[in-house]
Amino acid sequence: MKELLKTLVEISAPSGYESQVRNQIQEWIRPLVDEMRVDALGNLLAVHRQADAPRIMLVAHMDEIGLMITHVDRQGFARFVSLGGVMPIHCVGGRVRFLNGVQGVIGVEKNPASYEIPPLEKMFIDVGASSAEDCPIRIGDVAVFERPFLDLGKRVVAKAMDDRVGVAVLIETLRRLEKSAFEIYFVFSVQEEVGVRGATVAAFGVEPHLGLAIDVTATGDTPKGHRMEVQLGKGPAIKIRDAGMLADPRLIQWMVQTAEKAKIPYQREILEFGGTDARAIQLSRSGVPAGVISIPCRYVHAPSEMVDMEDVENAVKLLGRLLQTPSPLELSS
């Protein structure tokens, strides 16, 4: 699965520009599903049919956070804004790659108070150009952080782990899938990082009876980090709540019981910020019970996000088990 994950995180696909990663996923899963389509916003929807079974929507988002160019000055320096939740603290000195392959570094204006974190407005991208004319980028071009995949053994580090690790979990689940208690819609969503837009329309279109998002969550196991119980390597996290939603208690119970029965380690997650595609599912149409399986991830939204491969493996196991376990809900259509 490491190879799968490595290939996924090395693709550039910021919010709204997901086609490269979508093409790759399509190629992989085409032989594994009964039907596949791309909707109006670019979500990839793949169906695993199961007659007379309730419909479950599983979603992982394809997009990653990135940058967009707003201005190129006469000297060829490019100003930018964030696409999704890019934090200034991670920018200065960072390297970026544009969709057309151009690379550059992030510089910053002279900073009188060097201990303060400058806002993005004070930063620029230098692609090595000497004038606007020979600058190979234009207003509206988008870039992602450039970082090689780092294999630390049990743990791996990369940009875009949020949420390519979720994408990897879905693909691996699909590869191992035998029988299912559900008709499954595997949704690879767009534009999660700019307000769960892809999942909003996908959920409306799929009209599922229940839904699960597979996404990353923060951890509380780093020096003076978030005050949070989730740790790396202690199993996938079953979300209780985040800033965007309260997960459906019936689904929480279903996940907890399934994990305990299968002896899969899990953690109960409370995230006091952030949100996932599950919120969009929950609020879709007349309401859909929704939950989240989270992959614990250190340094979320930094260009070096770390996950533990055992957590990833256990997330695949848990999801596989869940798909064989009828949900506790009465789900007549």
**CB-wise, 122 or 241, nearer to other proteins?**
241
**CB-wise, 128 or 249, nearer to other proteins?**
249
Amino acid identity for residue 245 in this structure? M
CA dihedral in degrees (247, 251, 252, 258; nearest 10)?
-150
When asked if residue 285 is in the footprint of other proteins (CB under 8 A), the reply is yes
As a whole number of Å, the end-to-end CA separation of the chain is 36
**CB-wise, 181 or 240, nearer to other proteins?**
240
Element (H, E) at 166: helix 161-176
Scanning 57-65, 106-114, 156-164, 281-289 for contacts with other proteins by CB under 8 A, the matching segment is: 281-289
Amino acid identity for residue 160 in this structure? A
Using the rule CB under 8 A, which residue among 40, 93, 101, 286 binds other proteins? 286
- Give min distance, CB of 248 to other proteins, in A: 8
Element (H, E) at 161: helix 161-176
Element (H, E) at 270: strand 267-270
Measured distance CA(70)–CA(301) in Å, rounded: 21
Scanning 8-16, 26-34, 111-119, 278-286 for contacts with other proteins by CB under 8 A, the matching segment is: 278-286
- The answer to whether 192 is a known catalytic residue is yes
Q: Which residues pair with 215 in a beta bridge?
A: 294
**CB-wise, 215 or 242, nearer to other proteins?**
242
Q: Give the Å distances, CA to CA, from 107 to 68, 85, 122, 137.
A: 15, 19, 9, 16
Element (H, E) at 122: none
When asked if residue 57 is in the footprint of other proteins (CB under 8 A), the reply is no
**CB-wise, 53 or 270, nearer to other proteins?**
270
Scanning 60-68, 223-231, 308-316, 319-327 for contacts with other proteins by CB under 8 A, the matching segment is: 223-231
Q: How many CA atoms lie within 13 A of 208 on its CB side?
A: 32
Pick out residues in 165-194 that bind other proteins (CB under 8 A).
none
List 192, 193, 269, 305, catalytic entry: 192
When asked if residue 288 is in the footprint of other proteins (CB under 8 A), the reply is yes
**CB-wise, 287 or 328, nearer to other proteins?**
287
Element (H, E) at 97: strand 95-98
Q: Give the Å distances, CA to CA, from 260 to 50, 112, 207, 254, 279.
A: 26, 55, 30, 10, 26
- Give min distance, CB of 153 to other proteins, in A: 29
Pick out residues in 228-257 that bind other proteins (CB under 8 A).
228-229, 240-241, 244-246, 248-249, 252
Q: Which residues pair with 268 in a beta bridge?
A: 238
When asked if residue 282 is in the footprint of other proteins (CB under 8 A), the reply is yes
Number of residues near other proteins (by CB under 8 A): 23
When asked if residue 114 is in the footprint of other proteins (CB under 8 A), the reply is no
DSSP 8-state code for residue 30: G
When asked if residue 279 is in the footprint of other proteins (CB under 8 A), the reply is yes
When asked if residue 287 is in the footprint of other proteins (CB under 8 A), the reply is yes
- Give min distance, CB of 227 to other proteins, in A: 6
Residue 300 near residue 269 (C-beta atoms within 8 A): no
Q: Give the Å distances, CA to CA, from 253 to 25, 52, 302.
A: 31, 24, 32
Using the rule CB under 8 A, which residue among 99, 122, 283, 310 binds other proteins? 283
**CB-wise, 160 or 288, nearer to other proteins?**
288
When asked if residue 212 is in the footprint of other proteins (CB under 8 A), the reply is no
Which ranges of 19-141 does DSSP label H, i.e. alpha helix? 19-29
Residue 206 near residue 255 (C-beta atoms within 8 A): no
Using the rule CB under 8 A, which residue among 110, 179, 227, 263 binds other proteins? 227
The residues that are catalytic are 192
Binding site for other proteins (CB under 8 A): 227-229, 240-241, 244-246, 248-249, 252, 268, 270, 272, 279, 282-289
